[in-house]
Amino acid sequence: MTTAQPGALAPRRLAVIGLALAGTLALSQQAAAQAPAYQITFKNLTSDAQTAGAATAQTGQRLSPPVFITHSAAYSAYTVGQAAPETIWRIAEGGDRSFLLNEANALVGTSVLSVAAPLSAPLPQQDSVTVLVQADASHKYLSFASMLGWTNDGFVGISGLDLSAITGTTTINLFGYDAGSEKNSEANGFLGALGFGNARDPEGGVITNHLGIRGDANAPAAWNWLPGPAASLTITAVPEPSDWVLLLVGGLPLLHLLRKRAQADASGMA
């Protein structure tokens, strides 16, 4: 009768354990890829140094209440290098999100899956807000927009981000766009944040990267936010409860094999 030596079956056990690990990893990746929901934290990264008493008197920007939309490839919120649609320049010039909300809500059930519109007041510097949006294989794209509140027509946004590519948690920095719909006069009467009205001074341009506040008119240079990003999005895939069950089931064989190996090694050493 042949007696197996301790560790003689180790290569076989290791191979099986490797398969179990691979299966568990595959289940984990599958669960993330099929996430039906995503948690999104939108943070205002602009400075609040003046109110914090820091040496730099930069007050940054407040951001208007955002709109988040999950949609199919058939929908497009905006395109950099092209003229801003009214839904976007209304946000960029005055923080009016009603046009974008009306458009998106009318498309729910077709090219739009979910719409989230948190907040009823501007987002202060260094503050954040978190929402949950729905997604599926046909509606895997995210778009959103929020005004850089103390600009003529500045905004931060994303158009058509593929959520299915996010398997864990991802943070995206946003540097701000100029909608190109209004001249950046930074002057009384055309910049509502100055308190002297918010008349339009049409520019007829296209969406480009924003160059920041110049500070050579009525808007103070302290409202600038560059060179850093104006905001960030932190996006986390939220698997279904059934996916967690799959992960647990996938891990059980591995736990069983590890326990059996420990028992066999203990017997061999007795």
Question: What CATH number corresponds to the domain at position 169?
Answer: 2.60.40.2130
In this predicted model, which residue has the larger pLDDT, 266 or 67? Answer: 67
Query: How many CB atoms within 10 Å of residue 124?
Result: 16
198 inside domain: yes
**What is the pTM (predicted TM-score) of this model?**
0.78
Residue type, 162: D
pLDDT of residue 52: 53
Give bridge partners of residue 67 from the DSSP assignment: 145
247 inside domain: no
- 48: pLDDT confidence band, cut at 50, 70 and 90? confident
- 59: pLDDT confidence band, cut at 50, 70 and 90? confident
146 inside domain: yes
Q: Rounded mean pLDDT of 221-227?
A: 91
- Going by C-alpha positions, the residue among 92, 117, 119 that lies closest to residue 102 is 117
Measure the CA angle with vertex 89, ends 212 and 72; round to 5°: 110
Check pLDDT > 50 for residue 26: no
The answer to whether 71 and 143 are in contact (CB under 8 A) is yes
In this predicted model, which residue has the larger pLDDT, 266 or 112? Answer: 112
60 inside domain: yes
Task: Pick the range with the lowest mean pLDDT from 48-57, 175-184, 213-222, 241-250.
Answer: 241-250
pLDDT, mean over the chain: 84
DSSP, collapsed to helix, strand or coil, labels residue 211 as coil
- 8: pLDDT confidence band, cut at 50, 70 and 90? very low
Q: How many domains does the chain have?
A: 1
Instruction: Compute the distance between CA of residue 100 and CA of residue 122 in angstroms, rounded to an integer.
Output: 17
204 inside domain: yes
In this predicted model, which residue has the larger pLDDT, 147 or 47? Answer: 147
Check pLDDT > 60 for residue 7: no
Measure the CA angle with vertex 127, ends 121 and 131; round to 5°: 70
Give bridge partners of residue 234 from the DSSP assignment: 41, 171
Which residues 6+ apart lie within 8 Å of 96 measured at CB?
A: 90
74 inside domain: yes
Return the half-sphere exposure (C-beta side, CA atoms, 13 A cut-off) of residue 264. 15
Residue 192 structural domain: 36-238
Return the half-sphere exposure (C-beta side, CA atoms, 13 A cut-off) of residue 235. 26
Which residues 6+ apart lie within 8 Å of 194 measured at CB?
A: 187, 188, 218, 219
- 58: pLDDT confidence band, cut at 50, 70 and 90? confident
Instruction: Compute the distance between CA of residue 147 and CA of residue 67 in angstroms, rounded to an integer.
Output: 10
pLDDT of residue 258: 53
Percent of the chain with pLDDT over 70: 73
pLDDT of residue 31: 44
Alpha carbon separation from 167 to 29, 107, 258 (Å, rounded): 7, 27, 28
174 inside domain: yes
63 inside domain: yes
Check pLDDT > 70 for residue 22: no
pLDDT of residue 144: 98
pLDDT of residue 10: 52
Task: Pick the range with the lowest mean pLDDT from 6-15, 37-46, 165-174, 207-216.
Answer: 6-15
Task: Pick the range with the lowest mean pLDDT from 30-39, 168-177, 248-257.
Answer: 248-257
Instruction: Compute the distance between CA of residue 230 and CA of residue 168 in angstroms, rounded to an integer.
Output: 23
